Amino acid sequence: MLKNLKRRLRNIFITGLLITLPIVLTWFILQFLFKNLDALSPVFTNVLIQLGAPFPEGYRIPFLGVLITLLIILIVGWLTTSFFGKKIFQLGETLVEKIPFVRRIYTGSKQVVISIAQADTSAFRKVVLLEFPRRGLLAIGFVTGESRGEVQRLTQENMFNVFVPTMPNPTSGFLIFAPANELTEVSMSIEEGIKYVVSGGIVTPPGLKVIEAKGLKLEQPS
């Protein structure tokens, strides 16, 4: 019992850390940039006055820190997507991944962000449970629609296309053709289902419940 409690506390701590750390770091970095760049407002004003801008002496440009910060983010994004930027970014990643504790946090956060960003959630209709890869074991699946064509003609039941993702990368997985009576619909949203899979079950959606056990009704898209 004590071992299970320790494992649960560790999982809760890691989950909280993965969510809190990027937010806190982002907040401190943005706050640092806003304050320091706003302090440069008189310098920018003097330069603009010398260029002929009709600004009074000592005028402070409003939201200068915010504007320059957004510009810096755009420049960093552009550099990162360029060839040399990618090389520099890869070098930085290599250095970060050599730090044991930081490596685990960074790799986990990066995988979650990339997986969620790349997953085409618009193609998914419902989140279901189904027995996979064998009887007695359950897996999370995403219904993409009703089976059609030869797949449907060769079966006696109304079949559904179900994508069963792998973790921690939900963009790969298995395509399962299952009848409605083998699918159990749950209340979590598509995004919650993806986060649930990516986190390995650590990030559990609140208020998770079964909507319809062993039977799926799929509404036609409008």
Distance between CA atoms of residues 35 and 174, nearest Å: 50
Q: What is the pLDDT along the chain (222 residues), one digit of tens a residue?
A: 676 777 777 777 766 766 677 777 777 777 777 777 777 677 777 777 777 777 777 677 777 677 777 887 788 777 767 766 667 767 777 776 777 666 666 666 666 555 555 555 556 889 999 999 988 899 999 998 888 888 888 887 889 999 998 876 677 789 999 998 899 998 888 888 888 887 778 777 776 665 555 556 555 544
Residues 6+ apart with CB under 8 A from 64: 37, 38, 40, 41, 44
Instruction: Give whole-number Cα distances, 204 to 2, 201, 210, in Å.
Output: 22, 6, 14
DSSP, residue by residue, 86-122: HHHHHHHHHHHTTSHHHHHHHHHHHHHHHHHHHS-GG
Instruction: Quote the pLDDT of residue 115.
Output: 53
Distance between CA atoms of residues 161 and 149, nearest Å: 12
Cβ neighbour number for residue 51 with a 10 Å cutoff: 7
For residue 170, give both structure tokens: 């939900």
Is the peptide bond prior to 54 cis by the omega test (within 30 degrees of 0)?
no
Q: Provide the 8-state DSSP code for 205.
A: P
Distance between CA atoms of residues 14 and 101, nearest Å: 11
Beta strands in the chain (DSSP E): 126-131, 138-146, 159-165, 173-179, 184-186, 210-212
What is this structure's pTM?
0.45
Instruction: Quote the pLDDT of residue 31.
Output: 76
